[in-house]
Structure 1
């Protein structure tokens, strides 16, 4: 039989299957005499995965009842072919008008609407259900509620829920799940609390989603109360409940409590192990994450999945352990997970973070399918490496491939535009953001401010900031940092003070920016005021970056003894950055003894540091200690340390030309050096404009 049905403005003809699975001839089933009743035969064919054969049987049935229609529609929903399922429901109303719609077929059809995001069709069915009184069924109500939830219409779900005359465990769990997935954790817990007061309703599926809400709110106290109910109800040994408890504790910062729970679990699956690996990575213990993975592989028969490997590659990227990442790459292919999109994306991120962009590119080009994350990961990798040309090439390729840029790709391009000081390309990205309606996205807005600031256009950066619809702390921080870098420290401090008055809460990065502004302007007292403010009022523990700002502030003020004392008393591991700051200040102030100590600390961390050795040698030379300077330079030669030459670049038309000190590889080097010699020979022309890698337009005396 051939049916023609209009559905959603299109005429659909169907007499053959839309889904091709394992085929078996109809005659074989008939000959074997396995099923006599056609409706039962239809259900058995669908349950065994023979949807195509089931459709042939269905089309040849001389008469169909509601059971047959429900079975075939449900079959297509199970096969994820919701469009065909909806067409069949429409056909049922036309071809068999005598068949009455019941709660079962309506519930299945609501599921098809949710699956296909066909809200318009779902709303028409909603109206029909209300008119026909079928909505009073708890099954229909639950299916309708789930349809709205799947498509982000959580307020509609809540309205349907409130109007339901009867509710069961599935209904309650569905509405709680919808609220939690919409990040409305507090409301989700309120519904769970109401559900818990109804005896016997909370089950082993409701508890995990409630624990997820506790984790989202970082409410470990309420999570512990739910843990008690889990134990009392006897659900503690159920694996997915135990996994949810572990995740709740670790995401709430209770790692030790989570570890005790993990070790007490009688059974662990890949979700359990992956949760522990992810928890270690979240708190910066990536090496423990790797050890956990090895423990899982050596001591259990549990096999890692896509999420496990994604966590492992993230850990390797954070540790910059390329060798480990390459070994895990081999594991991925041995387990047949090489085609997993999430795994491939995380591998690309690992290779990019470890500086192996060629490997990331080869992996990218070999992928059978790519998503927007694939593109943005590679573009971001080239951007972070300062390879602007490659970043823009891949971005152009992405656009030609039809991928629409999202808020992850554009910040990378703006970042590389700023680092290379290519203002015109940055403006083009800005224009694209405006065209796509992404200019008010907080991440892109702050990236625009950073780009314009680094390209020397603080006026345009300020204009972007002032045109924001709603002030946010990220954009504010970018603007403060821009003002500080341009020497407009008063504007930076005024903006920070104004933000405090309007109630914006600064974060740790904001304090780094304002401390930098104080350092550039030499306001030592104000710097200490803000340093204390972040601890006393905002309860933030200063990171090593904040201490670095304070050390720089003290050094600029000439208080080298206090700077050295602060470094030694830092609660963080001392890195070469703070010691280098002190060393350079000692050179400027002629403090050889303190400078020697600072250089020793740097060389303990990096024995081949050219900055430490060159600065120390220059310090000795400036004080007339030629013997000591010669010893340092001899030490440099013995270690093979060569000072990295300085370089500058200039944008001419569409190309960036870079010039390295002493380099003659430029195709026009002879002409360039001839002009330089001419400039040096003419006294009036000895001052020219140069573009330096680490600063804005500066004037340099040849």
Structure 2
């Protein structure tokens, strides 16, 4: 609204000749106000009854409907002057409606041209006192179009007189609908009608600009108010503080608050809430908590809004316990400060981000039990909680309940459900929700597209994720840095080296500047595919573009170097991290301890672990890494002491930590301690994995403890289908080495019955132990099994049985063994002749025969010599 004559761009100067000058002698369009209509005097009691609001309503028990509304009578036909009553007596179209009836009829109209005709049939229009109440009743309904047309009709009436309260109500209504320009136009218009703005007018105008985020306009309106010699009230300052704080300008909001106190206007509860809200909008959560503590020292008691802001700030800071304490105190002191829907929604979000998903539904049910009606935000918070943990069925149930209770799902609802399917590895269903959202005339935003990209990318559907990005751009939604980060992470999972380069090039061509998170995604993706040099190049570009690396950056570099056995490079990154004074995370500590351990620098690893204990409590990963370091150094005593220290500090060991300690025990020739640790694991309910079973088998082998071995077999039997081949082979060898061949074969039968993988090495162990026990019949049978399974026996297997036949079986059995082998040869020859072998490198039966015969001839000549 600023003009070229206005030296200050934000000053409110009325435009010249916008509706003509205020002087009626120079403005032909100026409507001269008629003499005031004299209304018959009423008694004070009757006057109160006229403007008193009364409740009117109806109940339909058949349909289950009810409606209650406030009704005001206003001045009727009997209250207007006699000349007007005589004028309308003979007109059947003139209706003596109450003011409430007029408001109802106006709001029922759908065509704006009917409003003037309706109001011209109302007898109460001849009473000027009805006009402010009429505007007030209509503006309170929030219907701005009806209010504008009624106000326009009112100004055309002969008995209309411009009043500040009418303009103030219209300005406030425009402010509620974020129509700042129209509110400013009414401010100029009222001055043309010789209405001098008062404090309420300026308050309403400041509020309008504050809602629109135009805090500089609001500040200059305040200056105009002071120039007009109108003292700002507490509401004025509150509106101005809110205008600054709602845009995140918390420093300016504090400056206005100090100025308010200096001018002798003390802050009230609303002021404190606005300041706290400014801190919240500006992400100054710690300052908000400090301000709240100062507020508690005053005589102002916080209300529900105050505590809701505090709960939000505590959640952002991760202080969940304190937020729960505030929530519980609100529930205990219901008369003073009762939790509302916002409070319960914040607590649902708290339990969601803290991983206590089972409490989210409980809080939602408590809200219903307290008689509070959840809104769309509450339902979305619950859907988002389930989506965060990939619980798609529960999220869908809440989504359906939302629609059943009369709410229309918005973009947030669909996006949360889409995210739930993505996290539960159901990208096709996520795509279905996305399509359903578009079918319901809801336009997906950038968050929706990013969720769909993540749904495909996190499940290794990289091509589909890139197609979603293209569709996103075609529909006019520009990708942001989150889109790039999501695609980079997907490329890293799929091992697509070229795609990572393409995504980075696409971000550069679209003008998307990589921030720390995006660079971390690129570094992590390159490290996952083994591209160390390219990851290092991205790290160098961060330094050039002044993108500050954080602890995640160095953690990716250090852990990636450790995976590639570049331990010296990992320690160099550690030095850079400490030079830049970046705080070391638990992941960095663990990776560095691993690097020192692999380099044989146990003292440095111990020093780093001690430093970690001083900075914070180590987690189970750090303890496990240090136990591995002691195990590699052959120091099982320190590994055992560290494991006990873990329990003292309240860190629950897992299967990996236990397997690391078992490995240290076995290397230190302490197999009995391995079995004792296994009993401890069983008592604590720690699951057994392959590494645990491997160490237990090794300890049983060293102890030659057959009874424990039998118990171990029973324990491992349900896991045979998922146990590795190497572990099964070790278990078979342990049983066979003890001479219990029948037990070994029974164990083999059980392994076959569970459809576990049987490899060549498995048959080798069986044959070796069978031959050592002299069971040549079962040996030849196992050879037959190998032929049937399509596994070609090696030359050494035939040599071994033939050598056994000539040296250990005796003359009678030697001929039998020779015949069995010959029969096996003929059968194998027939199978080979009927099969077209594509790979000529595979050994044929003829080659085996000739080689075996040559070896037998050589051995017989040596014996003869």
Change beyond 3 A, Cα 1:194–1:337: same
Which residue in the other structure is 2:722 paired with? 574
**2:386 is the counterpart of 1:244:** no
Which residue in the other structure is 2:290 paired with? 156
Which residue in the other structure is 2:319 paired with? 184
Matches for 1:32-51 after TM superposition, within 5 Å: 47-48=178-179
Deviation, 1:507, is 5.1
- Does 247-256 or 300-309 show the bigger shift? 247-256
**2:305 is the counterpart of 1:165:** no
- Distance between the aligned counterparts of 2:343 and 2:689, measured in 1? 46
Which residue in the other structure is 2:368 paired with? 230
Contact 1:103/1:139 (8 A) holds in 2: no
Which residue in the other structure is 2:696 paired with? 554
Deviation string, structure 1 residues 134-164 (Cα, Å, up to 9, x no partner): 4543321210122334411242243255346
Which residue in the other structure is 2:498 paired with? 358
Which residue in the other structure is 2:856 paired with? none
Deviation string, structure 1 residues 174-222 (Cα, Å, up to 9, x no partner): 2332233333334334433444513895443333113223444728468
Deviation, 1:382, is 1.1
Residue from 425, 432, 441 that aligns with 2:576: 432
Residue from 562, 565, 587 that aligns with 1:421: 565
Change beyond 3 A, Cα 1:614–1:31: farther
- Distance between the aligned counterparts of 2:681 and 2:451, measured in 1? 33
Change beyond 3 A, Cα 1:554–1:339: same
Deviation, 1:466, is 1.9
Matches for 1:332-481 after TM superposition, within 5 Å: 332-367=472-507, 368-369=511-512, 370-468=514-612, 469=614, 470-473=616-619, 474-481=621-628
Deviation, 1:628, is 0.6
Change beyond 3 A, Cα 1:508–1:372: farther
Matches for 1:116-265 after TM superposition, within 5 Å: 122-130=253-261, 134-149=265-280, 150-152=283-285, 153-159=287-293, 162=296, 163=298, 165=300, 167-196=302-331, 197-198=334-335, 202-215=339-352, 216=354, 218=356, 220=358, 224=362, 226-230=364-368, 233=371, 235-236=373-374, 238-247=375-384, 260-265=397-402
Change beyond 3 A, Cα 1:569–1:92: same
- TM-score w.r.t. the length of structure 1 is 0.69
- Distance between the aligned counterparts of 1:404 and 1:207, measured in 2? 38
Change beyond 3 A, Cα 1:378–1:492: same
- Distance between the aligned counterparts of 2:295 and 2:461, measured in 1? 51
Contact 2:288/2:313 (8 A) holds in 1: yes
Contact 1:211/1:244 (8 A) holds in 2: yes
Change beyond 3 A, Cα 1:398–1:459: same
Q: 5+ residue gaps in structure 2?
A: 22-28, 30-147, 153-161, 702-708, 738-743, 772-782, 784-790, 798-831, 843-865
Change beyond 3 A, Cα 1:189–1:416: closer
- Distance between the aligned counterparts of 1:312 and 1:487, measured in 2? 50
**How big is the alpha-carbon RMSD for the aligned residues of Structure 1 and Structure 2?**
5.3
Deviation string, structure 1 residues 493-550 (Cα, Å, up to 9, x no partner): 221212323444445654454455446556544344444545644x55x2xxx41121
- TM-score w.r.t. the length of structure 2 is 0.57
Which residue in the other structure is 2:410 paired with? 269
Deviation string, structure 1 residues 409-448 (Cα, Å, up to 9, x no partner): 1111101222233344223211121122234432322222
Deviation, 1:407, is 1.4
Deviation, 1:15, is 3.4
Matches for 1:461-610 after TM superposition, within 5 Å: 461-468=605-612, 469=614, 470-473=616-619, 474-506=621-653, 510-511=657-658, 513-518=660-665, 520-521=667-668, 523-534=670-681, 536-537=683-684, 540=686, 542=687, 546-557=688-699, 565-570=714-719, 574=722, 578-583=724-729
Contact 2:225/2:231 (8 A) holds in 1: no
Deviation, 1:568, is 3.5
Deviation, 1:87, is 7.4
Which residue in the other structure is 1:286 paired with? 425
Which residue in the other structure is 1:693 paired with? none
Which residue in the other structure is 1:648 paired with? none
Change beyond 3 A, Cα 1:532–1:297: farther
Deviation string, structure 1 residues 37-92 (Cα, Å, up to 9, x no partner): 999899979944769x99xx9xxx9x99867876787677656576x579759x94
Contact 1:527/1:550 (8 A) holds in 2: no
- Distance between the aligned counterparts of 2:761 and 2:20, measured in 1? 93
- Distance between the aligned counterparts of 1:507 and 1:108, measured in 2? 57
Deviation, 1:375, is 0.4
- Distance between the aligned counterparts of 2:839 and 2:717, measured in 1? 28
Secondary structure of 2:689 counterpart:
helix
Aligned residues: 601
Contact 2:446/2:479 (8 A) holds in 1: no
Change beyond 3 A, Cα 1:17–1:360: farther
Change beyond 3 A, Cα 1:28–1:362: farther
Q: 5+ residue gaps in structure 1?
A: 3-12, 19-24, 606-611, 643-702
Change beyond 3 A, Cα 1:16–1:361: farther
Deviation, 1:476, is 2.6
Contact 2:351/2:360 (8 A) holds in 1: yes
Secondary structure of 1:408 counterpart:
helix
Deviation, 1:249, is 6.6
Matches for 1:98-109 after TM superposition, within 5 Å: 98=229, 100-109=231-240
Deviation, 1:277, is 4.4
Secondary structure of 1:494 counterpart:
helix
Secondary structure of 1:404 counterpart:
coil
- Distance between the aligned counterparts of 2:497 and 2:506, measured in 1? 14
Deviation, 1:264, is 2.8
- Distance between the aligned counterparts of 2:209 and 2:541, measured in 1? 37
- Distance between the aligned counterparts of 1:159 and 1:144, measured in 2? 13
- Distance between the aligned counterparts of 1:512 and 1:307, measured in 2? 43
Deviation string, structure 1 residues 448-485 (Cα, Å, up to 9, x no partner): 22233344433322221122323311433332233334
Change beyond 3 A, Cα 1:27–1:363: farther
Deviation, 1:379, is 0.1
- Distance between the aligned counterparts of 1:28 and 1:194, measured in 2? 60
- Distance between the aligned counterparts of 2:402 and 2:335, measured in 1? 29
Deviation string, structure 1 residues 249-284 (Cα, Å, up to 9, x no partner): 7779998765543333324333334434444566xx
Deviation string, structure 1 residues 570-619 (Cα, Å, up to 9, x no partner): 39x726xx2334346768998897998899899977xxxxxx86756986
Contact 1:107/1:144 (8 A) holds in 2: no
Change beyond 3 A, Cα 1:193–1:137: same
Deviation, 1:378, is 0.8
